[in-house]
Amino acid sequence: MTKRAYNFNAGPAALPLEVLQQAQEQLVDYASAGMSIMEMSHRSAIYEQMNEETQSLLRELFGIPSNYKVMFLQGGASTQFAMIPMNLLPAGKVGAYVATGSWADKALKEAKLFGETTVVASSEADKFNRIPDLSNVEIPSNAAYLHVTSNETIEGTQYKQFPVAGDIPLIGDMSSDILSRPVDVSQFGLIYAGAQKNLGPSGVTIVIAREDLVQESPKSIATMMRYDTHVKNNSLYNTPPSFSVYLVNLMLKWVQSRGGVAAMEQYNRDKTQLIYDTIDQSGGFYRGFADAGSRSAMNLTFRIHSEELEKQFVKESEANGFVGLKGHRSVGGLRASTYNAVPLESCKALAEFMVDFQKRNG
């Protein structure tokens, strides 16, 4: 086999080699069925069992209380930007949003198509380089929910603490940091995440929602866009993205085998410290984009003083087996995405490469 790349892609992103190898082993014959999981009916006992097991694993690993429903949906997190206001934002109420960056902005834009919205806090004036202070945030009393983006994948910022919204349901887009650290799920009304960053491949979106919020959707919205359709049918209303759900299943078992979510958090801390330390000890050669207090443990954004050198960094890194280090076009600079599945060895190699690059160009 050719050497595995040092994969720092932002999404779709690295998957553990063990998970890929297991999928490879089971590709043509799943559970002695004489066929792959892609070829079998989603109404079969084998598929239903796998669907159930995936839910249970997620419940156990993420500590999801029993009064929450778990859904496996399609359309990406971007479809949730619409489903949330369609289902949960009635006339006369307002959807409250915290503007932290590119993804929060997209969620807000979509909600505006369906109802009243308000921005309760924003860091836009600082180019979204931090999570705004929310200790005294004022949420309108007629808010239907408060929406936060737990990790801004493009800017590289992450909440260290979530706002307290009282009786108002807190909704979290955790697409780029779900299962990377323990979360008190009971603080949230609804959590959603596209799988392709921390949970598996693209094609499936996880929605975790408090029962009372998704029991009955407004009658006027389309069947597939209603949470109650998917809750009532255990995410099997229509053909699910079966292979994606299966890979999430393998990925969850992998997280479990590594000691669960708390162990992942420690592992991620070790990984990112190598790179943030390199930035901080570079005497200004590298500059972190995010404010120190808002730095993400998933997407590490940084710059070099000249764009020429940034281009050279990307080029040389690619020649050395690194993938995905170019920053998002809207922010520029450099970005290393270090999701759960990115091995410590990749981060060590990157830190060494950064030191060496500075030596040659500093």
Give the annotated binding-site residues for L-glutamate. 43
Q: Does 153 bind ligand PLP (CB under 6 A)?
A: yes
Instruction: Work out the angle between the directed axes of helices 242-257 and 45-62 (0-180°, nearest 10).
Output: 40
Tell me, yes or no, if 356 is annotated catalytic: no
Torsion of CA 328, 334, 339, 342, to 10 degrees: 130
Number of H helices, E strands in the chain: 10, 14
Task: Please give the C-alpha separations between residue 235 and each of 52, 64, 84, 227, in angstroms, as whole numbers.
Answer: 10, 17, 17, 10
Q: Does residue 103 have an active-site annotation? A: yes
Beta partners for 337?
Answer: 299
Is the CB of residue 190 less than 8 Å from the CB of residue 144?
no
CB atoms within 10 A of CB 213: 20
Which residues are known binding-site members?
43, 77-78, 103, 153, 173, 196, 238-239
Q: Of 105, 173, 271, 326, which residue is the catalytic one?
A: 173
One residue of 159, 173, 214, 327 binding ligand PLP per CB under 6 A: 173
Q: Determine, following the binding rule CB under 6 A, whether residue 321 of this chain makes contact with ligand PLP.
A: no
Out of 149, 158, 229, 235, the residue judged to bind ligand PLP by CB under 6 A? 149
* The binder of ligand PLP chosen from 36, 78, 118, 122 (CB under 6 A): 78
Residue at 339: amino acid letter: Y
DSSP single-letter state for residue 147: E
Q: Which of 58-66, 73-81, 222-230, 235-243 is the region at the interface with ligand PLP (rule: CB under 6 A)?
A: 73-81
Q: Which of 69, 197, 271, 326 is catalytic?
A: 197
Is residue 76 a contact point for ligand PLP (CB under 6 A)?
yes
315 is catalytic: no
Residue nearest to ligand PLP (CB): 76
Q: Which is nearer to ligand PLP, 103 or 243 (CB)?
A: 103
Q: Is 244 in the site for ligand PLP (CB under 6 A)?
A: no
CA distance 82 to 222: 12
- Residues at the interface with ligand PLP (CB under 6 A): 11, 76-78, 103, 149, 153, 173, 175-176, 194, 197
The residues assigned a catalytic role are 103, 173, 197
